[in-house]
Amino acid sequence: FTDVVTTNLKLRNPSDRKVCFKVKTTAPRRYCVRPNSGIIDPGSSVIVSVMLQPFDYDPNEKSKHKFMVQTTYAPPNISDMEAVWKEAKPDELMDSKLRCVFEMPNENDKLNDIDASKPAPVLNTSKQDGPIPKPHSVSLNDTETRKLVEECKRLQAEVMKLTDENRHLRDEGLRLRKVAHSDKSGSPTALALRDNGSNSLPSLLVVIAAIFIGFFLGKFIL
């Protein structure tokens, strides 16, 4: 909606007489139509370019843009087109009504091709164009996604391994405490083993906490 987008409308005269046509729209400020009127010879066609002008898109407008192609048989020796329409009787006029449809790109198109094709706007064919707001995160391709998944699996495996080691050390520490408690002599060797078993638990918890912090920081950075 920041650039002019054009859709062509083909009008054909199937009759054996010349036909005058005029293109009208419910949103004249939004569109430029060339030619917006003219004459079509018998059996001939004409291409009308309907150009959507840049504007601030409002979703409430998407079903309000309509076109009408009005036609009438051309009188002989026509010289003034305006006079033809003014003098035409209602029962001599024919019209075809068209509804304008904006075809928005889907989410996959936005992710896979942000700078993709520009929109074609009107008469059942149009797509969005213009600067797309900068996303909060950069989209990942398949290779990067696989690498990220593999890294997550590896970190999960390490966490499980450290959890098992932590459980093993905790059990070992409990066992050493029981041994130290049952050792009535209170030997320095038993006390040292007990201290080592108890001190290993905080160190292991610090390692696990560091891994989780690194994992979540890496996830947010990616």
**Residues 155 and 95 placed together within one structural domain of the fold:** no
The mean pLDDT value of the chain amounts to 76
Least confident window among 11-20, 21-30, 77-86, 91-100: 77-86
pLDDT of residue 138: 45
Average pLDDT over residues 190-206: 56
Cα–Cα distance, 99 to 122 (Å, whole number): 8
Q: Are 170 and 153 in contact (CB under 8 A)?
A: no
Most confident segment among 32-41, 120-129, 165-174, 194-203: 32-41
**Residues 94 and 148 placed together within one structural domain of the fold:** no
Specify if 124 maps to a domain. Answer: no
**Residues 16 and 79 placed together within one structural domain of the fold:** yes
Specify if 51 maps to a domain. Answer: yes
pLDDT of residue 134: 47
Specify if 63 maps to a domain. Answer: yes
Give me the percent of the chain exceeding a pLDDT of 70: 63
Encode pLDDT of 87-146 as tens digits: 889 999 999 999 988 877 665 555 555 554 555 555 554 444 445 444 444 445 567 677
Cα–Cα distance, 188 to 167 (Å, whole number): 26
**Residues 95 and 150 placed together within one structural domain of the fold:** no
- Determine if the pTM surpasses 0.75: no
Interior CA angle at 80 toward 74 and 84, to 5°? 45
The whole domain housing 154 covers 144-179
Specify if 193 maps to a domain. Answer: no
The last residue of a domain, from among 99, 128, 155? 99
Instruction: Provide the pLDDT confidence category of residue 10 given band limits of 50, 70 and 90.
Output: very high
Specify if 32 maps to a domain. Answer: yes
Question: Residue 20 is part of a domain; what is its CATH number?
Answer: 2.60.40.10
Which tokens hold the place of 209? 């906490």
The last residue of a domain, from among 66, 99, 132? 99
Specify if 33 maps to a domain. Answer: yes
